[in-house]
Protein backbone atom coordinates (compact mmCIF):
# COMPACT_ATOMS: atom_id res chain seq x y z
CA UNK A 1 0.00 0.00 0.00
CA UNK A 2 2.83 2.39 0.85
CA UNK A 3 4.47 1.67 -2.51
CA UNK A 4 1.28 2.73 -4.28
CA UNK A 5 1.06 5.89 -2.16
CA UNK A 6 4.66 6.70 -3.12
CA UNK A 7 3.89 6.19 -6.82
CA UNK A 8 0.74 8.33 -6.66
CA UNK A 9 2.56 11.13 -4.84
CA UNK A 10 5.26 11.15 -7.52
CA UNK A 11 2.67 11.18 -10.32
CA UNK A 12 0.87 14.10 -8.69
CA UNK A 13 4.03 16.04 -8.01
CA UNK A 14 3.43 15.93 -4.25
CA UNK A 15 7.11 16.02 -3.33
CA UNK A 16 6.77 16.23 0.47
CA UNK A 17 4.40 13.26 0.56
CA UNK A 18 6.56 11.25 -1.84
CA UNK A 19 9.68 12.04 0.18
CA UNK A 20 8.01 10.87 3.38
CA UNK A 21 6.65 7.72 1.75
CA UNK A 22 10.10 6.97 0.30
CA UNK A 23 11.71 7.37 3.73
CA UNK A 24 9.15 5.01 5.27
CA UNK A 25 9.67 2.47 2.50
CA UNK A 26 13.44 2.56 2.99
CA UNK A 27 13.03 2.23 6.77
CA UNK A 28 10.88 -0.86 6.17
CA UNK A 29 13.55 -2.36 3.94
CA UNK A 30 11.70 -1.86 0.67
CA UNK A 31 13.27 -0.50 -2.49
CA UNK A 32 10.99 2.20 -3.93
CA UNK A 33 11.08 2.76 -7.64
CA UNK A 34 13.10 5.76 -8.77
CA UNK A 35 11.10 8.75 -9.87
CA UNK A 36 11.34 12.51 -10.32
CA UNK A 37 12.39 12.88 -6.68
CA UNK A 38 15.70 11.35 -7.62
CA UNK A 39 16.00 13.58 -10.67
CA UNK A 40 15.62 17.21 -9.57
CA UNK A 41 16.72 18.36 -13.02
CA UNK A 42 13.41 17.18 -14.52
CA UNK A 43 9.96 18.72 -14.03
CA UNK A 44 7.22 16.71 -12.35
CA UNK A 45 4.14 15.60 -14.33
CA UNK A 46 2.07 18.50 -12.94
CA UNK A 47 4.83 20.96 -13.78
CA UNK A 48 4.91 19.64 -17.34
CA UNK A 49 1.10 19.84 -17.61
CA UNK A 50 1.05 23.40 -16.27
CA UNK A 51 3.82 24.44 -18.67
CA UNK A 52 2.05 22.86 -21.64
CA UNK A 53 -1.22 24.55 -20.79
CA UNK A 54 0.52 27.92 -20.32
CA UNK A 55 2.29 27.50 -23.66
CA UNK A 56 -1.10 26.84 -25.24
CA UNK A 57 -2.34 30.16 -23.88
CA UNK A 58 -4.26 29.12 -20.75
CA UNK A 59 -4.38 31.60 -17.88
CA UNK A 60 -3.08 30.83 -14.40
CA UNK A 61 -6.66 30.50 -13.15
CA UNK A 62 -7.63 28.16 -16.00
CA UNK A 63 -4.59 25.97 -15.31
CA UNK A 64 -5.34 25.94 -11.58
CA UNK A 65 -8.90 24.87 -12.23
CA UNK A 66 -7.83 22.10 -14.63
CA UNK A 67 -5.17 20.78 -12.24
CA UNK A 68 -7.44 21.14 -9.19
CA UNK A 69 -4.96 23.37 -7.40
CA UNK A 70 -4.46 27.03 -6.49
CA UNK A 71 -3.11 29.79 -8.73
CA UNK A 72 -0.12 30.11 -6.36
CA UNK A 73 0.68 26.41 -6.85
CA UNK A 74 0.46 26.84 -10.62
CA UNK A 75 2.88 29.77 -10.45
CA UNK A 76 5.28 27.59 -8.44
CA UNK A 77 4.89 24.75 -10.99
CA UNK A 78 5.63 27.11 -13.86
CA UNK A 79 8.66 28.61 -12.11
CA UNK A 80 10.12 25.19 -11.37
CA UNK A 81 9.35 23.93 -14.89
CA UNK A 82 11.15 26.99 -16.27
CA UNK A 83 14.22 26.29 -14.09
CA UNK A 84 14.37 22.57 -14.94
CA UNK A 85 13.75 22.83 -18.68
pLDDT digits (tens, 9 = 90+) for 4-54: 888 788 777 778 888 888 888 888 888 776 655 555 567 888 889 999 999
pTM for the predicted model, two decimal places? 0.56
Burial class (CB in 10 A: 0-12, 13-18, 19+), 1: exposed
Q: Where are the domains of the chain?
A: 2-38, 45-84
Amino acid sequence: MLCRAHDIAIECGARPVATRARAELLAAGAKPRPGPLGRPDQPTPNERRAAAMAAAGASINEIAQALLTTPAAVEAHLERARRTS
